[in-house]
Chain A
Amino acid sequence: MSDVADAPEAARPITSRRDPRYEVVMYRHVGIEGAWTLDYYRSHGGYEAARKALTEMSPSEVIDEVKASKLRGRGGAGFPTGVKWSFMPPVDGRQRLLVVNADESEPGSFKDRYIMEDDPHQLIEGMIIGCYAIQATKAMIYIRGEYVKGYRRLVDAVREAREAGILGKNVLGTDVEVDITVHRGAGAYICGEETALMNSLEGLRGNPRLKPPFPAQAGVYGLPTTINNVTTMTSVVHILTRGAAWFASMGTEDSKGTKLYQISGPVTRPGVYELPMGASFRELIYDLAGGPRGEAKGFFPGGSSTPPLPWRDEYLDLPMTYDGLAKAGSMLGTGGVIVIPKEKDIVDAMYNVVRFYADESCGKCTPCREGISTWLPKMYQKLLAGLGTREDLDLMEEMVRNTRGTAFCPLADACAMPVQASFKWFRDEYEYLVDHGRPMYTKTDWWQA
């Protein structure tokens, strides 16, 4: 690190919101009354990035710019966006599709919602650029069913953009064609998995599909398809506006740019915060969110499917990057931090998480249907009823270990991994419960008057 500290100011990467060079860009207009209108967006420089891409750059130059920015997908998996775009097969006359995954359903994640509600044109602009890069004329937004306000705002924004010639046959007066359909889901976490999302878009049950073929080969309707998260798209707008070098000046070697983090649970100021990658959990939790209310004992670093970490300096000081979390045995996920208060019994907290995945399992494959969706919640119920034994704990650990990597899609692992981590860090609470027949922490009323 010392050579980094000695480097000239301009060369030193921005890794803190305290850095005077840092600027919030994606949430600049979020929260402002009327920011969702085309007039507002245009009067604040809106659609200039798309104009620049369409009139001054070739599609491959746009892809190269995004590659150079080292932007990684913001939906959780972190796949390099430019590389994903370049997987699209050569243009062969078939319809090509861009799909935006706005099914934001991972517990602890709520960053996309406010963009769609307050700044839908930012998403549309990112989609125009994405469509141009992969040479798709048709795009779809799959928005989760509960986001009715966001759905209406998007539908209105698409209509506005169409009427203003920003979408349609001649986008911004060029010969580029892009149109957008907004498709509303109806309550299914699994539809955030990209192949399940494609099935849902086609009017099928939202069961995942086998990969390969990957969406670029055979996606929605069997056509070449690229699927990106909402804030991947909005990141692209600013990469085009300010350049790949600007984006890459923030963050660490493997995690570049600015990103939206979320924080929930008992902290003073829960919410969405935009930070440069490489900032620490401590900066988010203490400096921005005002620190925990009462004592905390751990946190989910990036949504409920990322293995929780204990409340220790070494973890609070971790940079919120893909690599930083991987080294700590967890994952960056969606960047949705959930703080676990000391008084919440971990068995109870994990039962809540397990119940979520049990409820959302699609039932297609055996490990998930029988393991995650059936036996695991039953075991937790047994423990919480005070009927568990030490052998049950071993059995549960064995069960989740054997579930890892065996299911058809990532949903089962998304449940098994945090359960394993809860045993690793908080086994004493599980043992206390089975030994005493009652939980170590018994607080039951969490509702504030």
Chain B
Amino acid sequence: MVELDTIPPFFADKQELLGEILGRYPEYGRRSAVMPLLWEVQNAERHVSEARIAEIAEIVGIHATEVKGVMSFYHEYHGEPVGRYHLQVCSTLSCSLVGSDELYDHLVEKLGIVNGETDDEGHFSIQKVECLGSCGTGPVLQVNDTYYERVTRSRCDELIEALKRDDMPEPWRERGGDNEGAEKADFLGEAPVRGAGAGEGEGS
């Protein structure tokens, strides 16, 4: 509550934005605005403090504990500030099969922080996350909002060096299958030996 008195409310000078967000939902569904409001605060401040939680509660007309209850349910909201570059390493099966565990270990060694930690300068933080929906282009590293896909050792090292210089590079384009676009390979034209009973696919 002390905080409330010392910092100006987040939405005080953002009435237009606030109106736009509340306007997305019917009046009887005002509470639906909780998640987008949390996003607005977190995008700006890299976490959502107690003061902001209280402010959102007041806007929506519910108790602060209810806002906190919503916030704590989801993996992506942070109660403590994360680093300027929040590294989210997908650790689910498809990524794990192409090296996400090793990628995570590599980052830990490189940066000296582990899952859930932020470095002393507030530059990097690491979070192990579950499936990011990039299963065909793993391993995937999500830096803040941006996906970096098919991260190899050298790509990882280059990316980290760039982020150290506060340079956030354009992600390299990684696709596969029908999402590659107009110049697709003629997949069916180059069919390899098919079958469990033949060639390298032999299983048992």
Q: Give me the interface of A with B, judged by CB distance under 8 Å.
A: 17-18, 24, 27, 30-33, 95, 104-110, 112-114, 118, 138, 144-149, 181, 183-189, 200-206, 220-221, 260, 262-266, 268-274, 282, 286-298, 304, 310-313, 316, 336, 338, 340-342, 344, 349, 352-353, 356, 359-360, 362, 444-449
CB distance from A145 to the nearest CB of B (A): 5
Known: A113-B133, A448-B152. A203 touches B31 (CB 8 A): yes
Which one of B109-117, B158-166, B178-186 is at the interface?
B178-186
Interface centre among A108, A264, A448 (most CB of B within 10 A): A264
Interface of chain A, helix or strand or loop or mixed? Answer: loop
Q: Please measure, in the bound complex, the distance between the C-alpha atom of A289 and the C-alpha atom of B102, giving whole angstroms.
A: 25
Contact residues in B for A352 (Cβ distance below 8 Å)? 91-93, 96
Contact residues in A for B139 (Cβ distance below 8 Å)? 447
**CB of B32 within 8 A of chain A?**
yes
CB distance from A72 to the nearest CB of B (A): 21
B133 in contact with A144 (CB, 8 Å)? yes
Q: Please measure, in the bound complex, the distance between the C-alpha atom of A108 and the C-alpha atom of B26, giving whole angstroms.
A: 35
Q: List 30 A-B contacts (CB under 8 A).
A: A18-B188, A30-B178, A107-B94, A107-B130, A108-B93, A110-B136, A148-B146, A149-B147, A186-B77, A202-B31, A204-B31, A221-B28, A262-B177, A265-B94, A266-B97, A273-B177, A282-B195, A286-B195, A287-B188, A288-B187, A291-B194, A292-B201, A293-B200, A295-B202, A311-B204, A312-B196, A353-B93, A356-B130, A445-B102, A446-B102
Interface centre among A110, A147, A292, A296 (most CB of B within 10 A): A110
Contact residues in A for B146 (Cβ distance below 8 Å)? 148
Q: Which of A146, A181, A291, A296 contacts B76 (CB 8 A)?
A: A146
Q: Please measure, in the bound complex, the distance between the C-alpha atom of A162 and the C-alpha atom of B136, giving whole angstroms.
A: 34
Contact residues in A for B176 (Cβ distance below 8 Å)? 269-272
A311 in contact with B196 (CB, 8 Å)? yes
Q: Which of A30, A108, A189 contacts B94 (CB 8 A)?
A: A108
Q: Please measure, in the bound complex, the distance between the C-alpha atom of A108 and the C-alpha atom of B133, giving whole angstroms.
A: 7
A203 in contact with B70 (CB, 8 Å)? yes
**CB of B19 within 8 A of chain A?**
no
A105 in contact with B97 (CB, 8 Å)? no
- Binary CB contact string for chain B from 14 to 36 against chain A (1 if under 8 A, 0 otherwise): 00000000001110110111111
6 additional A-B residue pairs with CB within 8 Å, beyond A183-B24, A295-B202: A110-B136, A185-B74, A264-B97, A286-B201, A447-B153, A448-B99
A288 in contact with B32 (CB, 8 Å)? no
Interface residues on B, range: 35 or more
Contact residues in B for A262 (Cβ distance below 8 Å)? 135-136, 177
CB distance from B136 to the nearest CB of A (A): 4
Contact residues in B for A118 (Cβ distance below 8 Å)? 179
**CB of B154 within 8 A of chain A?**
yes
Query: Top 7 A-B pairs ranked by shortest CB distance?
Result: A271-B177, A447-B99, A271-B176, A31-B181, A311-B203, A187-B75, A186-B74
**CB of B129 within 8 A of chain A?**
yes
**CB of B38 within 8 A of chain A?**
yes
Q: Which of A27, A186, A203 contacts B39 (CB 8 A)?
A: A186
Known: A204-B70, A313-B197. A31 touches B75 (CB 8 A): no
Q: Give me the interface of B with A, judged by CB distance under 8 Å.
A: 24-26, 28-29, 31-36, 38-39, 60, 69-70, 73-77, 91-94, 96-103, 106, 129-139, 142, 145-147, 152-154, 175-182, 184-185, 187-188, 190-197, 199-204
CB distance from A268 to the nearest CB of B (A): 8
B179 in contact with A272 (CB, 8 Å)? yes
Residue of B nearest to A112 (CB): B133
Known: A17-B188, A183-B36. A449 touches B136 (CB 8 A): no
CB distance from A143 to the nearest CB of B (A): 11
B69 in contact with A205 (CB, 8 Å)? yes
Contact residues in B for A356 (Cβ distance below 8 Å)? 92-93, 130-131
Residue of A nearest to B29 (CB): A221
B99 in contact with A445 (CB, 8 Å)? yes
A286 in contact with B191 (CB, 8 Å)? yes
CB distance from B122 to the nearest CB of A (A): 22
Known: A203-B34, A264-B138, A311-B201. A287 touches B179 (CB 8 A): no
A449 in contact with B69 (CB, 8 Å)? no
Contact residues in A for B191 (Cβ distance below 8 Å)? 286-287
Q: Which of A24, A221, A265 contacts B178 (CB 8 A)?
A: A24
Contact residues in B for A264 (Cβ distance below 8 Å)? 94, 97, 135-136, 138
Q: Which of B32, B129, B136 contacts A203 (CB 8 A)?
A: B32
B93 in contact with A359 (CB, 8 Å)? no
Interface centre among A33, A146, A291, A362 (most CB of B within 10 A): A146
Contact residues in B for A304 (Cβ distance below 8 Å)? 92-93
CB distance from A84 to the nearest CB of B (A): 23
Q: Which of A105, A270, A294, A298 contacts B177 (CB 8 A)?
A: A270
CB distance from A218 to the nearest CB of B (A): 14
CB distance from B181 to the nearest CB of A (A): 3
B94 in contact with A206 (CB, 8 Å)? no
Residue of A nearest to B67 (CB): A203
Contact residues in B for A149 (Cβ distance below 8 Å)? 145, 147
Q: Please measure, in the bound complex, the distance between the C-alpha atom of A107 and the C-alpha atom of B204, giving whole angstroms.
A: 26
Known: A272-B179, A313-B195. A188 touches B188 (CB 8 A): no
B29 in contact with A446 (CB, 8 Å)? no
Contact residues in A for B152 (Cβ distance below 8 Å)? 447-449
A291 in contact with B31 (CB, 8 Å)? no
Contact residues in A for B190 (Cβ distance below 8 Å)? 290
Residue of B nearest to A220 (CB): B29
Residue of B nearest to A300 (CB): B93
Residue of B nearest to A108 (CB): B135
Q: Please measure, in the bound complex, the distance between the C-alpha atom of A443 and the C-alpha atom of B187, giving whole angstroms.
A: 31
Contact residues in B for A145 (Cβ distance below 8 Å)? 74, 76
B130 in contact with A189 (CB, 8 Å)? yes
Interface centre among B94, B98, B132 (most CB of A within 10 A): B94
Contact residues in A for B136 (Cβ distance below 8 Å)? 110, 262-264, 270-272
